[in-house]
Structure 1
Amino acid sequence: MSWFKANAAEVLRNVAEDRIPYIITQNGEARAVVLDVASYEAAQETLALLKLVAMGREDVKAGRVVPAREAVEALRQRIRDE
């Protein structure tokens, strides 16, 4: 942690340029990760997509599904009604 404090500007520059995360430790234990913004946003987007997939799987297990043809026809009808 003390090394990070003394070298924060360099670490941030390296993270931004190289897109390599830094794991910050305190007393030998991982405490934080410094990550460039683009990598963080990509990870968040991936997590959001994985959550949607999990929700979809739960819908299938619970029987909350509609055949594709019915879904497409319902969408077409909504468009016509607008």
Structure 2
Amino acid sequence: MRYSSQVKPISYLKAHAAEVLSHLADRREPLVITQNGEAKAVLQDVTSYEQTQETLALLKILALGQQDIDAGRVKPISDVVGRLRAKRTSV
């Protein structure tokens, strides 16, 4: 996606806030807000934001898992399954 078509000055946002919010919800494309010709903020709809946060959380989990593998902090699956079965039968 090219953000250059989704750039508006802050004055546009002030004058057309309801329209901007509707556009964000309909198109689900972020909008870059400029101030004095410089990009200052990015607006996006809530659904897209939540999806982005979920994706980042999953990527963090994957990265942490990879760090554990790289550091040798792993156990064979048979050991883990055995421990889980032992806990289940002791309860």
Partner of 1:34: 43
TM-score for the superposition, normalised by structure 2:
0.82
- Which residue identity is paired with 1:29? E
Q: Residues of 2 paired with 1:63 and 1:2: CA distance?
A: 55
Q: How does 1:10-29 map to 2 (within 5 A)?
A: 10-29=19-38
Deviating above 6 A after TM superposition, structure 1's stretches of 4 or more consecutive aligned residues are none
RMSD: 1.1
Q: Structure 1: which 5+ residue stretches go unaligned?
A: none
Deviations 1:5-36, CA, capped at 9 Å, x for gaps: 11111000111122111111112222111111
TM-score for the superposition, normalised by structure 1:
0.90
Secondary structure, aligned partner of 2:75: coil
Secondary structure, aligned partner of 1:41: helix
- Which residue identity is paired with 1:18? R
Match of 1:5 among 14, 19, 25: 14
Q: Residues of 2 paired with 1:59 and 1:67: CA distance?
A: 13
Q: Structure 2: which 5+ residue stretches go unaligned?
A: 1-9
- Which residue identity is paired with 2:23? N
